[in-house]
């Protein structure tokens, strides 16, 4: 950029997906550094070549029974079904990232250790656990807050 400033262009995160994959032309954020897409990776990743992404950031449903307003997401699966579904998208994350590229997964500890175990079994190297402090902003009912 001539003036050294990054130019941002935002688009709606809720987009219709057709068999012709027009969503590839509609990132929610576009900068000189790359594109950002916000959508179901199981619908997006099949359009990508193997080892084509420099970084993958996944923010899957936490399977807490939450109702999402932007699409149909079943956030109340049984444990085995949720982990099987998660392994499906994690496998795709591995396939599309370049060798040495980062994979970030934003998830609660209840599922995080399952994901780490699966990823290590697939040959991934676990580097860091990043804890997020959200005290007072995430209702937990009668459960202990899962902070570090």
**Domain chopping of the chain, boundaries:** 36-148
The reported pTM is 0.73
Could you tell me the mean pLDDT of each successive run of 10 residues in the chain, 148 residues long? Answer: 48 40 77 84 89 92 83 83 97 96 94 96 91 66 56
> How high is the pLDDT of residue 12?
37
Return the H-helix or E-strand segment holding 9.
strand 9-10
Angle between helices 109-121 and 79-96 (to 10 degrees): 50
Encode 34-66: b = buried (16+ Cβ within 10 Å), e = exposed: eeeebbebeebbeeeeeeebeebebebbebeee
From 3.30.565.10, 3.40.50.300, 3.40.50.150, 3.20.20.70, which CATH number describes the 36-148 domain?
3.40.50.150
> How high is the pLDDT of residue 125?
92
> How high is the pLDDT of residue 1?
44
> How high is the pLDDT of residue 131?
80
> How high is the pLDDT of residue 66?
84
């Amino acid at each position: 950029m001539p003036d050294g400033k990054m130019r941002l262009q935002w688009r709606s995160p809720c987009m219709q997906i057709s068999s012709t994959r027009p969503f590839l032309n509609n990132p929610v954020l576009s900068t000189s550094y790359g594109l950002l897409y916000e959508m179901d990776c199981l619908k997006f990743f099949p359009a990508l070549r193997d080892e084509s992404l420099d970084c993958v950031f996944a923010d899957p449903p936490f399977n807490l029974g939450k109702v999402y307003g932007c699409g149909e997401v079943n956030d109340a699966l049984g444990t085995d079904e949720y982990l099987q579904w998660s392994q499906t998208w994690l496998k795709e994350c591995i396939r599309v990232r370049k060798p040495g590229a980062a994979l970030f997964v934003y998830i609660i500890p209840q599922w995080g250790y399952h994901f780490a175990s699966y990823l290590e079994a697939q040959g991934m190297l676990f580097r860091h656990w990043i804890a997020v402090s959200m005290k007072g902003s995430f209702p937990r009912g009668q459960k202990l807050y899962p902070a570090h």
